[in-house]
Structure 1
């Protein structure tokens, strides 16, 4: 091996090592607050500017410490959102209640003027369905298979919570059955593939996680790996044939403990009525 070839090979090795170190130990732990404006045509005027802090995919467990979750909760509270929504996968491990019992007392510290609303993800079921449901109910945040109203004066918006796409029943039509089609409905559903299922209820916005934004996003290519059937569902606001879909990049990791060009996020969503923004 001549000197030039040796230096080139050494450079490749060092670059790969640095990229790996950065992805595992640095970017994975840098939580950013991303602000999104979400236009909703049938948003009641009194809710124009209403803010939702969206948390998802914390994956408490290996390499995601109690202090990390505590910091996320504290940062979310500092944002003073009107309401907080959580879309599942709070724990990482399978077939154990240990992580569930550790993470939920921290999540119960979340408070907002108009409430905190949560559903479960597949990992919560894989860990222990009954224990996850116990804490979901005990927390007062339970929205699974339910519809709850947030009211301001005589106007309201409706929040509904679907069951997990893989490990539960969605029941989207059922949970909105007693509501009017003209009302502004927002659905929490962990897996964005639920948007493509058969439901008839008009929904203005679906909030999801599950994808982690792919965790690794390559310039000019996007995310090579997405754990969804519809590969258009990566992150951010997506307009589908049925509804608007917002997918958060989430906070934790799965499969591999890396993030590259895909920082963990607390998503702060500002709902606006387009007719009032001119």
Structure 2
């Protein structure tokens, strides 16, 4: 009973992780650009009192998919989106559970509340004639083997060095991409394992998730430069199946982008 109580507490946690991420190619005007990043909300209601304090303190809200799920109350989902849009401009991608919900209604709620749903699209943030790019990767609707669409190209020549964030629900996308032309990848889906048992650890079908479960990683860009993209995989805010977590508490993120310090 004690263990079950602790698992429920971790499942319904409201922790916001604040961290700085250094990106070599970040344009100077974007030094300090702040993102509220939340993924895998599922059935949960977002904490209005806590998140409302971030209004005016973050520049954008990024949602990494599984924003709701089948049979979850749409009114609750609409309230969550309205709350986030009131904090800062919102950009979202689909997750697998979003496609199992009433997808057209879900999409209309996002757009109707003023959010931006990215279906393999680029968004340009512009400051002082410099650009920070966001690319939203849509989770495929097809059943069976997951096949992603190619990333939309950026309007840059090869001689330029754009700074790009890639927002994708499932980090397994990385292993299916011949190259990762981005500086930062934000993902979720894994729930950090959700329940990590002693001695057994993370029991995922895909071996990929046993390493890339939650936290910050590096992934080769695969562009011949030997450079790496930074990858943040969130444990997410909600749960899948049972509302229980163990050694993988719920989390949200406030990410502050920083330039590489000059030597």
Fold shared, TM-score > 0.5 on shorter chain? yes
Range into which the TM-score falls when normalised by the shorter chain? 0.7 to 0.9
CA distance, structure 2, for counterparts of residue 180 and residue 85 of structure 1: 27
Alignment check: 8 A CA contact 1:162 1:169 kept: no
Say which of 110, 127, 133 aligns to 1:152.
127
Query: How many equivalent residue pairs?
Result: 247
1:263 aligns with 2:240: no
Q: Give the 5 Å matches for 1:115-134.
A: 115-134=89-108
Offset at residue 185 of structure 1 (A): 0.8
1:176 aligns with 2:158: no
Q: Secondary structure at the match of 2:104?
A: helix
2:64 matched residue in structure 1: 87
Alignment check: 8 A CA contact 1:189 1:207 kept: yes
1:252 matched residue in structure 2: 238
Offset at residue 230 of structure 1 (A): 1.1
CA distance, structure 2, for counterparts of residue 157 and residue 207 of structure 1: 15
Say which of 78, 82, 88 aligns to 2:53.
78
Q: Which deviates more, 106-115 or 176-185?
A: 106-115
1:143 matched residue in structure 2: 118
Alignment check: 8 A CA contact 1:213 1:223 kept: no
Say which of 161, 165, 170 aligns to 2:136.
161
Structure with more helix by fraction: 1
Structure with more strand by fraction: 2
Higher RCO, Cα 8 Å, sep 6+: 2
CA distance, structure 2, for counterparts of residue 114 and residue 169 of structure 1: 32
Gaps of 5+ in 1: 1-16
Q: TM-score, normalised by structure 1?
A: 0.79
Q: Give the structure with higher Rg (CA).
A: 1
1:198 matched residue in structure 2: 177
Query: CA RMSD, aligned part only?
Result: 2.5
